[in-house]
Amino acid sequence: MAERYDVFVRTWWKENKSWPNGLEPSLGVKRYIVHDVDWAEARRICKEYNSTHEPGRLSKKAEFESA
């Protein structure tokens, strides 16, 4: 059986005035978009999300992990 994946969105930074540019590296909470898809579908969803959503100051992006 092929490996399955969960797709989620999270930020990569948090606001912190004591860090350069006011940003501290910090993995945000995972907010799941979809569960249990194959690799090609997970990749497609991430590419589509990331191309249609501005990551903003905190670099919010879609990713996937093994289900």
Q: Report the candidate in 34, 63, 64 with the shortest Cα–Cα distance to residue 50.
A: 63
Q: Tell me, what's the pLDDT at 46?
A: 98
pLDDT in tens, the chain (67 residues): 799 999 999 999 999 999 999 999 999 999 999 999 999 999 999 999 999 999 999 999 999 999 9
Give the chain's radius of gyration (CA, Å).
Answer: 14
**CA atoms of 20 and 65, how far apart (whole Å):** 30
Q: Tell me, what's the pLDDT at 1?
A: 77
Q: Is 42 exposed, middle or buried (0-12, 13-18, 19+ CB in 10 A)?
A: buried
Assigned token pair, 40: 């090609």
Q: Tell me, what's the pLDDT at 66?
A: 98
**CA atoms of 30 and 11, how far apart (whole Å):** 8
Q: Tell me, what's the pLDDT at 8?
A: 98
